[in-house]
Structure 1
Amino acid sequence: MAAQTSHHTRSKSFPLPSSSNPLVSHIEEHLVRLRDSDAPSTSSSISHKLNALQELYDCVDKLLQLPFSQQALSQEQNKGLVDELLDGSLRLLDLCGTAKDIVLQTKGSTQEIQSVLRRRRCGELELIGEVRKYFTSRKVARKTIHKALKNLKAMETKHAFSSSDDHESKSMVSLLREVEAVTSSMFEYLLTLISGPKEQSKSGRWLLVAKLLHQKRIVCEQARRRDINEFVKVDAALKSLLSQKMSKSENIMNVEMQSQLKDLELCIEDLEAGLDCLFRCMIKARVSVLNIFNS
C-alpha cells in the first residue's frame, strides 16, 4: 500500500490510480501489448492472446480489491458507470460462451469423422455422411458467429458510456473500458478464425463446377501455407473429399486428412482450455465489481 500514499490526493481524498501504481502499470502494459500485436491468423496466436487476457483479468481483479478502486466505483453518483461496465462484462461473457459452444460442436464433429477413418473397413457412404454432418454443423456455427459479430458491432456503435465529474472514477472506468475493448477485439478475431473465410456467393452452377475442379489444387496450396489455420485446412480437405469419386480405399484412408483432423482436435482442445480459464477470470472480475456495487 506504500505506493498509494505517494499519489497526489484529490477532492475525494483517495489516491489517483495512475501509472505509478504497480498494478495499474502492469495492466497498461498488457493493454499496450494486446493492442499493438498483429491480428491473430492462427490458433497458436489466438491461444497466446487468450493467455495474455487471463493475466490481464487477474491483474484487474487484484486492482479491484484495492481501497481506491472500491471507493471510486462504490460512489452513488457513479452507479450509471458501473451499470454500463457490468452490462459490458455480461456481453463479453456471452461471447465467450458462444465461442466455447462452437469449438465443442466442431470437436464432436471432427471426432466422429476420425472414428470412421480409423476403422479398417469404413464404407464410403458412411464417411461421406459424417462429412456432410460436419459441414451442416459448420454452417450452423457460421450463422451463430455472424449473428454474434453483428450484435457486437451494433452494441459497439450504440454503446455510449456515461461520464463522471470525479477524476479518480474517470481514470478507473477508462481503464476498465480499455480492458473491455481489447477483450471484445480478441473474441472478434477468435470467432472470425473459427468461421473461416467468407464463402463466395452462388452465382450459378458453373461456379460450383469450377470450385470442385480446382479444389485439389487449392488444398495443396493451403497445406503449404503456415498462416492457414486448422479450421480452414480441414474444411478444404473435406470439401475436396466430397468432390471426388472415391472408389479406392486409399482415398478414404487418407493419412494427411487424418493428420489434419488430429491437428484441429488439438487446436480445439487448446482453445477450449484457454476459453475456460478466461471465462473464470472474467467471472471473478465481474463478481468483484458486483461486490463493490452492492457493498
Structure 2
Amino acid sequence: MCGGYARLGDIYKSIEEIMDLPSNQVGLSFPQNKKMVEEELERSLVLIDLCNSMQENLAGLKMSTQELELVLKRGDDAAVQLKVESFIRLAKQAQKPFKKITSSKAVAEDCRMVRVLAEAREMSVSLLESTSHLLLKQFTTTKGSKWSLVQKRKVVFEEEQLQVLEQSMGDLENGAELLFRRLIQSRISLLNILSS
C-alpha cells in the first residue's frame, strides 16, 4: 500500500509535467474542454477531502495503537478490550466516506488530459478505499490467522505485532500525506491553466 501511494505521487507529478506542456495548456483552455476541466476540478475536491480524511483516520489509528500498547503493558484487560473496540470503530469510520463516492461518467475522447486526470483520480480513490479496508483487516488477521480479540475473556496480542501495526500506520499516513500534497499541486496547476 505504501508503495502505491508513492507511485501515485509520481503519476501526479508526471501529469503536472504533461499539463505544463504548451500544447496541453492550450487544449485544456479550449471552450469545448473548459466544462470537462471544471467538472474534473470539482471531482478533485472530493478526492482531496477523501485523502485528508484518510490522513486524519490514520493518525487516529496510529495513536490508538500506541495507547493499546501502553494498556497492554499495564496488563489491564478491560482497558485493552476498550482500546481494541475503539480501534475497530475508528477503522470502520475510515470506510464511511467511500460509501458516498460514485464512479464518474466516462470522459469524452476529445480531451485526453482530462481523461488522464480522471483515471488518476479513480486509481487514487481505489487506493484510499483499499487502505480503509486494510486497516480493519490488519487488526483482525495477521499472517493468515485470526488475532484473538477475546480468548477466555482475555485479549491476546503480541507486542511485536502492535509495533509492526503502528509502523504500518505511520508509513500509510506519510503516503497519504504525499498524495494529498500532489493532489493539491495538480489542482493548482489546473486552476492556473484555466485562469491564463
Measured against the shorter chain, the TM-score band is 0.7 to 0.9
1:171 positional shift: 1.9
Distance 1:116 1:87 in 2: 44
Instruction: Say whether 1:129 aligns with 2:129.
Output: no
Instruction: Say whether 1:275 aligns with 2:183.
Output: no
Aligned-residue sequence identity (percent) comes to 29
Q: Could you say if the C-alpha distance between residues 110 and 76 of structure 1 is closer, same or farther in structure 2, counting changes exceeding 3 Å? A: same
Aligned residues: 195
Opposite residue 112 of structure 2, the aligned amino acid is S
Instruction: Say whether 1:80 aligns with 2:15.
Output: no
Q: Give the alignment partner of residue 125 of structure 2, picking from 155, 176, 184.
A: 184
1:173 positional shift: 1.7
Structure with higher RCO (Cα < 8 A, 6+ apart): 2
Match of 1:203 in 2: none
Opposite residue 27 of structure 2, the aligned amino acid is A
Instruction: Say whether 1:149 aligns with 2:98.
Output: yes
Q: Could you say if the C-alpha distance between residues 134 and 101 of structure 1 is closer, same or farther in structure 2, counting changes exceeding 3 Å? A: farther
- The DSSP-based 3-state class of the residue aligned with 1:196 is helix
1:91 positional shift: 1.4
Distance 2:55 2:82 in 1: 22
Instruction: Say whether 1:261 aligns with 2:169.
Output: no
Opposite residue 277 of structure 1, the aligned amino acid is L
Q: Could you say if the C-alpha distance between residues 137 and 259 of structure 1 is closer, same or farther in structure 2, counting changes exceeding 3 Å? A: closer
Opposite residue 193 of structure 2, the aligned amino acid is I
Q: Give the alignment partner of residue 171 of structure 1, picking from 89, 105, 112.
A: 112
TM-score of the aligned structures, taking structure 2 as reference length = 0.86
Distance 2:108 2:19 in 1: 20
CA contact (8 A) 2:29 2:194 kept: yes
- The DSSP-based 3-state class of the residue aligned with 1:85 is helix
Give 5+ residue unaligned stretches, structure 2: none
Instruction: Say whether 1:100 aligns with 2:55.
Output: yes
Give 5+ residue unaligned stretches, structure 1: 1-45, 198-218, 247-251
Match of 1:60 in 2: 15
CA contact (8 A) 1:110 1:265 kept: yes
Q: Could you say if the C-alpha distance between residues 177 and 135 of structure 1 is closer, same or farther in structure 2, counting changes exceeding 3 Å? A: same
Opposite residue 113 of structure 2, the aligned amino acid is M
TM-score of the aligned structures, taking structure 1 as reference length = 0.59
Distance 2:112 2:75 in 1: 64
CA contact (8 A) 2:108 2:115 kept: no
Distance 2:100 2:143 in 1: 35
| TM-align CA RMSD | 2.5
Higher-Rg member (1/2) = 1
Deviations 1:117-168 (CA, angstroms, capped at 9, x unpaired): 34xxx253xx4224313413422441441x312112xx21xx335647xx4x
- The DSSP-based 3-state class of the residue aligned with 1:244 is coil
Q: Give the alignment partner of residue 292 of structure 1, picking from 174, 188, 193.
A: 193
Distance 1:264 1:160 in 2: 37
Distance 2:45 2:84 in 1: 30
- Which deviates more from structure 2 when the two are superposed, residues 277-286 or residues 131-140? 131-140
Distance 1:223 1:77 in 2: 52
CA contact (8 A) 1:96 1:275 kept: yes
CA contact (8 A) 1:110 1:261 kept: yes
Instruction: Say whether 1:194 aligns with 2:95.
Output: no
